[in-house]
Amino acid sequence: MHAQMDGAVIDRPTSSTFRIASISGLRIHLIGIGGSGMSGAAALLSDLGARVSGSDLATFDGLGALVERGVRVWIGHADDHVAANADLVVVSAAVPESNLELLAARRLSIPVMKYAQLLGFLTSVRKGVAIAGTHGKSTTTGMCVHLFQQAGLSPSFIIGARSAQLGGSSGVGKGEHFIVESCEFDRSFLHLTPHSAAILNVESDHLDCYLDLDDIVRAFSEFAAKVDPSGVLLCSADDEHAIRAALDARCRVETFGFGEAADWRAINLRSDSGRFAFEVELRGRQVLSAQLAIAGRHNVSNALAALALACHAGADPDRIAAALATFRGVDRRLTWRGHGHGVTIVDDYAHHPTEIRVTIAAARQRYAPRRTWVVFQPHQASRTQHFMDQFAASFGEADEVVMPDVYLARDKTERTARPGSMELASRICNCGGKARYVPKLSAVAELLVGEVADGDLVLTMGAGDVWKVADELVERLCRSDRARCSPRPADVVSPGGTCSVSVPAA
């Protein structure tokens, strides 16, 4: 079948093959539109002239902005949400094959494309700049976008997190570059063929779709091999697995890091409340002096990758330095939420042991709290089981840990009985920490309101909906006149010692 519509040429003999000559005028439906990447793609497709619709199971941040753009959004999935004359259906990696709308699209012979495949198309029509790695992708991608923008390169972009500073999680620029966060989950990043790229780090994760660490390194190696031979791959000199992955690259490879072996090297690091200033050398020659507005030594490494990519794109080093000093990060990455009654409330997306450890350290450096309370919501029963011991050891700098139930995402029913939050809280206690298991988020907020005190930091952390605890605390501590102290909730039981387990009421 071959069709012509508003200048867009569409080949769709089957749902597995699809070629687009132009986005403008296409009717595109997104299943799982509420995800940060998917909602960003919806906004970008709309800005490119597509007629966009979509659905998700629940309301989400950014819904209003999509509706204002003219995107039609349904809450809940139904087969009649997919129009018979739709040109393309884009599906999130989290959507199962049994989804009613996906089944309807296949029944109607509408081409179906994964979100990652859409990114692959978008990066193929411009100079793709892809940021990959187990940790730090969203922050580094956002930083890269900001550097390109401030240097006058006007990139298009999609990030897996929102940024008010950047105007959302996506944007259409006039320049030749398309900057994209490149996720390894489900090997999604292998759909990309970027002109330049970065591998920030490689570590065990997503073991629901990888066999082991070696399997993950092989996937990153395939990603490295997809970078255009005329481009450049930036690779962390401080990560042995990233170095292994880069060996298969067909393009020029440059390294970044803190050691003498790195091509792009940060030297003379100075910290002011956790925010670092440093000089950048390229093979021994000073390129620029930098000052970051976001906290954490790990963000120095992220900045090296972003600034190197910007330099290769032709950005002026002085403009890069000025832009680094004004980048405020992306949402849910050490995001300050409020301060009331002497208590600081910060929210973060960290859901891997390494991320937890460096995030707690950065938060303590940034705010120097009297006590650090961490509310950690584990993400996926399978991940919690795989990394149980690593998780337990990652809270060493937390004074108090409060653990709600695991946020179940992509978990099959039979996996939900695996060891979860109660077991993890117990393991933290066995490691010498202080942890409490409190199943419900509402009970967590109630507990904190009654126990936090002047000078404390509350850090909500996880990839699920733990941010609701931060919202509740902001409301109760920062925006109301009610007394801070409230009775200990009835469903929180403290049997003594440093570890407690909450037993829900029958």
364 and 397 Cβ atoms separated by less than 8 Å: yes
Q: What confidence score (pLDDT) does residue 21 get? A: 55
SS3 sequence of 140-189 = HHHHHHHHHHHCCCCCEEECCCCCCCCCCCEECCCCCEEEEECCCHHHHH
Quote the CA–CA distance of 194 and 178 in Å, as a whole number.
9
pLDDT for 126: 86
E strand or H helix at 197: strand 196-199
pLDDT value, residue 204? 86
Neighbours of 345 (CB within 10 A): 26
- Tens-digit pLDDT profile for the chain (506 aa)? 233 222 333 334 333 345 555 788 999 999 999 987 899 899 999 998 999 999 999 888 789 889 999 999 999 999 999 999 999 999 998 899 999 999 999 999 999 999 999 988 888 878 999 999 999 999 999 999 999 999 999 999 999 899 999 998 889 899 999 999 999 988 999 999 999 999 999 998 888 889 999 999 999 999 999 999 999 999 999 999 999 999 999 999 999 999 999 999 999 999 999 999 999 999 999 999 999 999 999 999 999 999 999 999 999 999 999 999 999 999 999 999 999 889 999 999 999 999 999 999 999 999 999 999 999 999 988 889 889 999 999 999 999 999 999 998 765 544 444 568 999 999 999 999 999 999 999 999 999 999 999 999 999 999 999 999 999 999 998 765 444 433 333 333 332 333 443 333 32
pLDDT, position 93: 84
Between CA 91 and CA 97 the distance in angstroms is: 10
Residue 122 has a pLDDT of 83
Read off the tokens for 51.
């007629």
Q: Going by DSSP bridges, is the β-strand pair 8-11/72-75 parallel, antiparallel, or unpaired?
A: unpaired
Per-residue confidence (pLDDT) for residue 61, from 0 to 100: 79
Contacts of 24 (CB under 8 A, 6+ apart): 6, 7, 8, 48, 49, 50
Domains of the chain with bracketed CATH: 2-114 (3.40.50.720), 126-324 (3.40.1190.10), 335-501 (3.90.190.20)
